[in-house]
Each structure stands twice: as C-alpha cells, then as structure tokens.
Structure 1
Amino acid sequence: MPHPDQPFTNEEEEEDLLDEEGENLLDWATTTVVYAVGYIRILADAIESGDADLQVDPVAWENTLNAVEGVMADQLRGHLHGPTPITVEDVERVQRLRSLGSAALSGGERSSEFCPLAIRCMESMFGQDWKHAAREAASCARALNQEFHPRSGT
C-alpha cells in the first residue's frame, strides 16, 4: 500500500472502484428485498382482510418485484449472497406472486393462492425471521409509497 500522500496507481483505483461497485450492488439488493417484502406484506394483509384499497401502487409493485427477481437470479448465479439460499423454485414463486399481485392491483381477481404464496416468498427471502422482517419492511414500504405515490385526501 502506498504512503497516504502518494496517489493511487490505476490498479489500486480499479480495486477500490470494484469494491465500491460491489458495496453499491449489495446495498441496492438489500433495499430491493426489504421493499419487496414490505409490499408483499401490505398487499397480502389487504387481500386477506378484504380491503377495497390494496395500499400498494401498481407501478411500485411491478418495479420492485421485477427488481427482486433480478436480485434472486444474481444469488442463483453466485454474484450475491443473501440470508437464505435461493432456488429456481423461489424465483418462480416470486414471478407467480408478482403476476397475482398485478392482477389484484389492476382490479382483477384476488386469488386465494396469493396469501400462502406470499408467505413462502417472504420465507425464501428472509428465512425463519420473515415475520419480523416483513413488519419492518412494510413500514418502510408504506413510507416510500406515500412519498412517491401519495393518495389524495390522506
């Protein structure tokens, strides 16, 4: 390592940049999973209780669930490591959940398959501590949803 007053060589700069890129990817992936679990929890609770307002913006749902599918695919390829091992079946479940959630959010069917599938998806992302993680994530997702997709009159 050079003296602190000496400039980095190109190789050292590249190593620092790769480390920073890796950290940024990990931060993004973690945030993505947190918001995905939050939206899943919010939507599952609303569907289960029969609420007319499903409390999740459809665009936020699509974007977040698409992103989490990418994070899970990166875990499958070994580019990322999460709190639980991810399988192809886990990714397929999230894809199915995204589809069911999108249908419900567009005014279509609220499938009875959604809530049990939501639980399986949250378990695959957080393991046994999914209930605690989902509560915390739902709070974050509600705040984000309100900031970017405010409801009139609320």
Structure 2
Amino acid sequence: MPHPDQPLTNDDDNEEEALLDDEEEALLHWATMTVIYAAGYIRILADAIERGDADLQVDPVAWENTMTAVEEVMAEQIRGRLHGPTPTTVEDVERMQRLRSLGSAALSGGERSLEFCPLALRCMEFLFGQDWKRATREAALCARALNQEFHPRSGT
C-alpha cells in the first residue's frame, strides 16, 4: 500500500479488488442491484398510490420477484455475509414482507392500504440510510427503465 501522501495508481485498485473473491463479488453485485430495483419499485408504487393513480406503473411479477429478492438480501445481512447502510433486524425483514404483501394486493386490483406509504418510507430509509430520498429517486429511474424493457406496456 502506498504512503498516504502518494497518488493512487491502478496497482492500488487491484489490491482492493483482490479483497473479494468471485463469489463474494457476485453476491455484492446481486445485492446492490436488488436493493436499487426494490427501492425504485417501492418509490414508484408509493408515489402512484399516494397520488391515487389508476395505473400503479409497476409490473406485478417484477414487484413480487424483486421484493422476494430484497428479503433474501436482508437475510444475508442478518447472517453477516452482507452489510447495508443500517443494521438489519428480523423486524426489518417482517416490515419488508408486509410491504410486499400490501403492494401485491394493490397491484392485483385489491385494497390500497393506508399503511403502504408510511411503511414504504420506513423501508426505503432502511435500504439506503439517511440519504434515501435522493437515492430512491435515482433508483426509481432505473426501475422504470428495467420495467419498460422487460414488461413493456401495450400502446406506449
């Protein structure tokens, strides 16, 4: 490692990359992308519910798959294999499961629970920490692009 006053070189980057093996790197990439898309879908759905939109703008299959995956990320955080911006508790996982259930109900044409938006805010804060507002705006852009690519709406 170079002296703190010396500029970083590409060799220094290779030292950091060697800290993660391929499996750990793949897990970290999967977890990062999962959290980004989950936060994006949560933000999109919460905004649409809050506005009272007829079209909730999230594909139900994408919602279910992504929310199930983010619960798996949270389980990996509890096991200590991953670390997020905030410590993960069993209660956090239970809140995310509740959010997934409420979102699934709304996306299937069922009740749009008043509990959804406050719970969504709490979950987004958990996923991104204190800077969740900016991060989830950007995540929503990614999620919209992914949703459009894999679940295009007819007529758009």
The TM-score by the shorter chain falls in which range?
0.7 to 0.9
Hey, what does 2:37 align to over in structure 1?
35
| Number of residue equivalences | 138
Hey, what does 1:131 align to over in structure 2?
133
Deviation per residue, 1:35-87 (Å, 9 max, x gap): 00000000000000000000000000000000000000100010111121111
What TM-score, normalized by structure 2, do the two folds share? 0.87
**Alignment-mate amino acid for residue 80 of structure 1:** L
Q: Secondary structure at 1:121's aligned position in 2? A: helix
What TM-score, normalized by structure 1, do the two folds share? 0.88
Hey, what does 1:85 align to over in structure 2?
87
1:127 offset after TM fit, Å? 0.9
Q: 2:153 aligns with which of 131, 151, 154?
A: 151
Q: Secondary structure at 2:83's aligned position in 1? A: coil
Structure 2 runs not aligned, ≥5 long:
1-17
Hey, what does 1:5 align to over in structure 2?
none
1:153 offset after TM fit, Å? 1.0
Structure 1 residue 121 corresponds to structure 2 residue 123: yes
Deviation per residue, 1:65-118 (Å, 9 max, x gap): 000000001000101111211111110000000000000000000000000000
Hey, what does 1:95 align to over in structure 2?
97
Hey, what does 2:69 align to over in structure 1?
67
**Alignment-mate amino acid for residue 33 of structure 2:** T
Q: Secondary structure at 1:101's aligned position in 2? A: helix
Hey, what does 2:106 align to over in structure 1?
104
Runs of 4+ in 1 over 3 A off after TM superposition: none
**Alignment-mate amino acid for residue 137 of structure 2:** R
Q: Secondary structure at 2:21's aligned position in 1? A: helix
